[in-house]
Structures are given as C-alpha cells and as structure tokens.
Amino acid sequence: MVAALLEAHSIDPSSLIDDQTLVAETLAGRHEAFGTLVERYDRAVYHLAYRTLRDQEEARDAAQEAFFKAYRSLRTFKPGAKFSTWIFAIVYHACCDRLARRKRYSNEELPERADTAAGPESEAIASDEARRLRAAIAQLPEKYRTVITLYHLQGRQYDEIAQVLGVPMGTVKTHLFRAKEQLRRILNEQTAGARP
C-alpha cells in the first residue's frame, strides 16, 4: 500500500529515512544506506570545501576524503548528533589541514592562492550579479567565507555552524556580521569604480 503510494507520487523511499537510521543501517552491514547519505550531502560538502579552498580539484579531494573518514569512523558517530554537522566538521577540518599545508609550502597568505575562475557549470549560466557576488565572497578571508557559505548558501543554524567550526555561537554571529560588512564594501567599491 505504502509502496504503491510512493510509486504513484514518484517519491524515493530512501528520502523518507532519517540520517540516524541510515547510519545505523550502515553499521548493521547494509552499506547501500551510506550511499543515500552520500547522495544527500555530497553537493553541500563539496560546496563548503570549494568555498573554503577556492580550488575545484582540492575541493573534490577534500570532499572525498571527508566521506572516506566518515565511513571509516562511523562507529564513533554519536547517536544523538546530526550527521550533517558531523560531516561538515570533518570536511572543514580537512580543508583547514589543506590550507595549513598550502601555507607551509608557499610564502603567500592563506586566502591569496585563489581559484578566481567563476567555478563549475552553474556559474557559467548564473547572472552577472550572482557571479559578482560569488567573486566577492571568494575575496573574503577563509573564516568569513565559511560562515557565509554555511549560513546563507546552505541554510545552517548558528548552533550548527558553531559546532562545525568549533567556536562559540557569539563568534559565528560576529564573523557573519563582519563578513557581510566586508562583502558590502567590496561590492559597493566595484559599483562605484564602474560608474563613470
């Protein structure tokens, strides 16, 4: 009956299962359940990695590394926790490691090694304003980029962002406020510069 209803409304049954059940099923040996988790979060995880690292190849590697680590240490996942917070924290730390390595091997400041290209396909078709906004976000320091990405682009709550970054909630709010200030300044300077 339920299956027939789902089929009639073309609903994927796996989309109804919550993350914790999928984790439990993976631990019980049904490894396909982890595939559903990958389907749910690969885009968001890649996006966070790309915003933090500003390099498509590195973002891809970081996303893959994060899921690999999550899969290997799934037993350490606390039953009451949110899978999204956990996987975001893993990918964020993987990105921090990569940024630290990048800094060690070059004399440049962290945010300077930027992939200033517009990004994957979606940016090619995005409007000029959206492209300008993305480019402005890319100019922000790493901590501000990450907060903007998690809050505005992925719709995460303050407390979840605080857990991902491992900072107090007040710091998240401060970062967000400063990020928006800087962003507005960058965008308005561009606008002022473009006017005759």
Partner 1 sequence: MKYYDNDDELERALFALDLEEPPADLRHTILASTIYHVPVAATVRPWEPWLYGGLCAALVWLLIAVIRGAVAPAMTAAASYGDELAAFFSQPTTLLWFAVGAAATVWISQVNLTVLPGYQRAARR
Binding footprint of partner 1 on the chain (CB under 8 A): 31-32, 34-35, 38-39, 42-44, 46-47, 50, 56, 60, 63-64, 67-68, 71, 119-123, 126, 129-130, 132-134, 148, 152-154, 180, 183-184, 187-188, 190-192, 194
C-beta closer to partner 1: residue 120 or 166: 120
Q: How far is CA 107 from CA 96, 101, 140, 141, 156, in A?
A: 17, 11, 19, 17, 34
**Distance (Å, whole) CA 149 – CA 133:** 12
Nearer to partner 1, 103 or 131 (CB): 131
Query: Within a 10 A sphere around the Cβ of 106, how many other Cβ atoms?
Result: 11
CB atoms within 10 A of CB 90: 20
Taking phi over 0 as left and psi of -120 to 50 as alpha, with beta for the rest, 190 belongs to alpha
Q: Nearer to partner 1 by C-beta: 27 or 103?
A: 27
Query: Least distance in Å: CB of 31 to partner 1?
Result: 4
The minimum distance between CB 4 and partner 1, in angstroms, equals 29
CB of residue 8 vs partner 1: minimum separation in angstroms? Answer: 28
Residue 32 C-beta: closest distance to partner 1, Å = 7
The residue among 64 and 85 lying less far from partner 1, judged by its C-beta, is: 64
Contact 82/136 with Cβ under 8 angstroms?
no
